[in-house]
């Protein structure tokens, strides 16, 4: 029940629906207790005594009881369904909101398919149990209590004899719950793995086909599907062992009742009508005991689902605001960034930055160059406060970024990633994504600066053209230019270009860079690039290797030094007419 306690805030606000549902189910159950008494009256007082004038009244009474019982059942179903859907609605919103605030560190490990499974299949299990399963499980105990009281009032001796098998029924049911709970968790996990395999295959279908790896993907999916199948077979095997035992114990209980009750009727200590009524009451106990497996099944599924949902809701948020954090005002931000002896490592990995120092004055352009794993992207992630640092500090205009709110910090930054992501929406909505209120003129201006306006106007609906999932239907360069326009429209104080022109040709890159020259004025800009052409106009170029700065200076200064920068320049410009001249200048300088 600990799971239900932790989820209390999501259903307790609608507790009136829960109480109405339970009360109506109790009333419906209580009305069912009228039938055995009617049977006893029909046999002992009407048939035996031949008072047949009571038959029409009994028929009308039965119809009335059925009508009222059906009304209570309807209200139970309506309120239960309403409750379950409200809880699912609140939980779904809470999960989605939590996913928005979880830090990058969580998503480094999370799998999309697993998260989708938790937001769909697991939520459905919770919805069913809270809406109906909880009331029905409670009804099992109510039926047992009501039925037992009625039976004891009729004949306590026969009741005690009949109840001989009840402890075995309860014991078997409890053992069943303990056995199937871990199996349901296994099924949920296998389902998540299956969903993840499908999601990854669909996302990477072009890669799969380009490498002709369809057979491998089919085999990989078959393994995941096999795990899911085996988990369900294991559960079926458990049911196959326990359910016949529950059925057998129920049948033994009925056999004892009929044998002992028949003897009581023969010796005159019980009337035939009382035995028939008693037999009806016993099903008020046996039926829920036989169905306890079904209710335990629902309970255990919801328990496993609730645990998986709570894993997200209780997930620790690594990057969050301090209680004393202040919000930055856009007009007060200048954009000066400083790394002061920063050392940072990703979880379970070697340090990505070691004693890193860098100062970017407001309005300056800083270029970052280095090989894979050198720490370039880490610098950018830390400016965004995607991760918390443990050693050193990063300041914005002299303020430690841990002392300002995360939202206001990121509002000052616009970033164009190397891997472009576009939403399944119009081009207009994709460009204006970073701002709430934006005019069409501002959207067009940003698109023109990013050199995207011309190709957008050639599309069937222009800016109202729907972009396919993940930007499908556009070339890599077109997607990247839309992403650049999306960054520009934020009017950021800090602009970050993470290899932003990697997917465009040299001519387009030159045009975009020309637009950047105007845009960079008054903004602090960080450029990560592998092309020297993207970096040579920077105020300072920082060359990293293994999380340390190995070279720094302007383009001209670095060309006069032996090292990584000149070697990169030599590879990219060895056939350029100016390369011989640069080489001679270096020789003279040395």
- Any residues with CB less than 8 A from the CB of 522 and at least 6 apart, and which? 363
Give the DSSP letter of residue 49. Answer: T
Provide the 3-class DSSP secondary structure of residue 431: helix
Give the strand pairing for 365-370 and 540-545: parallel
Residue 372 and residue 394 in contact, taking contact as beta carbons nearer than 8 Å:
no
pLDDT at 511: 62
Distance of CA 298 to the CA centre of its chain: 22
Digit-coded pLDDT (tens) for 264-294:
888 887 788 878 888 777 777 777 766 666 6
Using alpha carbons, select from 189, 87, 167 the residue that is nearest to residue 132: 87
Residue 140 and residue 295 in contact, taking contact as beta carbons nearer than 8 Å:
yes
Give the strand pairing for 391-396 and 337-345: antiparallel
User: Would residue 207 count as lying in a domain?
Assistant: yes
CATH number of 463's domain: 3.40.50.300
In this structure, how many other beta carbons lie within 10 angstroms of the beta carbon of residue 464? 12
Q: What tokens does 147 get? A: 């039925």
**Which of residues 491, 518, 538 is at a domain's end?**
491
Whether 161 and 298 map to the same domain: the answer is yes
Place of tokens 């002709």: 212
**Which of residues 285, 313, 341 is at a domain's end?**
313
User: Would residue 546 count as lying in a domain?
Assistant: no
Dist. CA 106–CA 99, nearest whole Å:
9
Report in angstroms the alpha-carbon separations of 73 from 86, 104, 237, 287. Answer: 20, 48, 34, 18
Place of tokens 């529950």: 246
User: Would residue 496 count as lying in a domain?
Assistant: no
Q: What tokens does 569 get? A: 């320049």
Whether 305 and 426 map to the same domain: the answer is no
pLDDT at 293: 63
Report in angstroms the alpha-carbon separations of 447 from 39, 411, 415, 420. Answer: 82, 20, 16, 16
pLDDT at 371: 83
- CA angle (82 as vertex; 79, 88 as ends), nearest 5: 140
Q: What tokens does 360 get? A: 């970017």
Query: What is the residue range of 450's domain?
Result: 420-491
**Which of residues 264, 286, 313 is at a domain's end?**
313
Q: Could you list the beta-strand ranges (E) of 125-275.
A: none
CATH number of 107's domain: 1.20.1560.10
Whether 10 and 140 map to the same domain: the answer is yes
Dist. CA 505–CA 495, nearest whole Å:
22
Starting at the earlier edge strand, list the strands of the sheet with 351-360.
Answer: 351-360, 337-345, 391-396, 399-400
pLDDT at 392: 92
Dist. CA 510–CA 517, nearest whole Å:
11
User: Would residue 195 count as lying in a domain?
Assistant: yes
User: Would residue 394 count as lying in a domain?
Assistant: no
**Structural domains counted in the chain:** 2
pLDDT at 540: 93
pLDDT at 379: 92
Whether 92 and 229 map to the same domain: the answer is yes
Question: Is 0.75 topped by the overall pTM?
Answer: no
Dist. CA 274–CA 157, nearest whole Å:
14
Whether 309 and 424 map to the same domain: the answer is no
Using alpha carbons, select from 268, 261, 297, 265 the residue that is nearest to residue 282: 261
Report in angstroms the alpha-carbon separations of 233 from 65, 175, 228. Answer: 43, 19, 9
Using alpha carbons, select from 337, 367, 336, 340 the residue that is nearest to residue 353: 340
Give the helix ranges, DSSP H, for 267-368: 272-313
User: Would residue 178 count as lying in a domain?
Assistant: yes
Residue 565 and residue 541 in contact, taking contact as beta carbons nearer than 8 Å:
yes
Digit-coded pLDDT (tens) for 69-90:
899 989 998 998 899 899 989 9
Whether 120 and 258 map to the same domain: the answer is yes
Residue 122 and residue 307 in contact, taking contact as beta carbons nearer than 8 Å:
no
Provide the 3-class DSSP secondary structure of residue 415: strand
User: Would residue 351 count as lying in a domain?
Assistant: no
Residues of the chain with pLDDT under 50: none
User: Would residue 377 count as lying in a domain?
Assistant: no
Starting at the earlier edge strand, list the strands of the sheet with 413-416.
Answer: 413-416, 494-498, 524-528, 365-370, 540-545, 548-553
């Amino acid at each position: 029940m600990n799971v239900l306690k932790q989820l209390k805030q999501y259903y307790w606000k609608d507790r009136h629906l829960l109480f109405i549902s339970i009360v109506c189910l109790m009333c419906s159950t209580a009305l069912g207790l009228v039938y055995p008494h009617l049977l006893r009256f029909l046999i002992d007082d009407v048939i035996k005594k031949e008072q047949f004038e009571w038959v029409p009244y009994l028929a009308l009474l039965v119809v009335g009881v059925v009508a009222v019982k059906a009304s209570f059942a309807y209200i139970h179903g309506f309120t239960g369904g309403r409750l379950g859907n409200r809880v699912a609605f609140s939980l779904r919103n809470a999960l989605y909101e939590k996913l928005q605030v979880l830090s990058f560190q969580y998503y480094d490990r999370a799998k999309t398919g697993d998260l989708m499974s938790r937001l769909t299949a697991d939520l459905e299990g919770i919805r069913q149990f809270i809406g109906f399963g909880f009331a029905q499980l409670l009804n099992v105990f109510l039926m047992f209590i009501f039925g037992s009281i009625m039976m004891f009032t009729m004949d306590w001796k026969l009741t005690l004899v009949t109840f001989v098998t009840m402890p075995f029924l309860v014991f078997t049911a409890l053992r069943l719950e303990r056995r199937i709970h871990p199996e349901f968790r296994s099924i949920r996990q296998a389902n998540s793995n299956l969903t993840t395999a499908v999601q990854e295959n669909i996302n990477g279908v072009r890669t799969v086909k380009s490498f002709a790896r369809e057979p491998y993907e089919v085999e990989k999916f078959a393994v995941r599907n096999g795990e899911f199948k085996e988990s369900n077979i294991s559960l079926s095997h458990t049911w196959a062992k326990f359910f016949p035992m529950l059925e057998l114990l129920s049948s033994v209980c009925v056999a004892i009742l009929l044998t002992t009750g028949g003897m009581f009727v023969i010796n005159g200590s019980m009337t035939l009508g009382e035995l028939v009524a008693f037999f009806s009451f016993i099903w008020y106990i046996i039926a829920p005991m036989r169905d306890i497996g079904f209710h335990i099944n629902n309970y255990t599924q919801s328990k496993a689902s609730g645990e998986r949902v709570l894993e997200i809701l209780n997930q620790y948020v690594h990057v969050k605001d301090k209680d004393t954090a202040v919000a930055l005002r856009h007009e007060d931000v200048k954009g000066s960034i400083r790394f002061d002896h920063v050392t940072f490592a990703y979880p379970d990995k070697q340090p990505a930055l070691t004693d890193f120092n860098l100062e970017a004055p407001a309005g300056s352009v800083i270029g970052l160059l280095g090989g894979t794993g050198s720490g370039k992207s880490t610098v950018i992630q830390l400016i965004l406060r995607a991760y918390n640092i443990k050693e050193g500090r990063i300041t914005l205009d002299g303020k430690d970024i841990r002392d300002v709110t995360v939202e206001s910090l990121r509002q000052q930054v616009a970033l164009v990633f190397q891997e472009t992501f576009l939403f399944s929406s119009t081009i207009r909505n994709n460009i204006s994504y970073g701002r709430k209120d934006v005019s069409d003129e501002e959207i067009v201006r940003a698109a023109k600066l990013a050199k995207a306006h011309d190709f957008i106007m050639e599309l069937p609906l222009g800016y109202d053209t729907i972009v396919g999932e993940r930007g499908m239907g556009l070339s890599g360069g077109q997607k990247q230019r839309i992403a650049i326009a999306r960054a520009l429209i934020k009017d950021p104080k800090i602009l970050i270009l993470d290899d932003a022109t990697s997917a465009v040709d040299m001519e387009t890159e030159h045009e975009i860079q020309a637009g950047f020259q105007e845009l960079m004025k008054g903004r602090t800009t960080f450029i990560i690039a592998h092309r020297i052409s993207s970096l040579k106009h920077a105020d300072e170029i920082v060359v990293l290797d293994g999380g340390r700065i190995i070279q720094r200076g302007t383009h001209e200064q670095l060309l006069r030094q032996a090292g990584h920068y000149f070697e990169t320049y030599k590879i990219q410009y060895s056939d350029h007419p100016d390369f011989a001249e640069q080489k001679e200048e270096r020789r003279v300088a040395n």
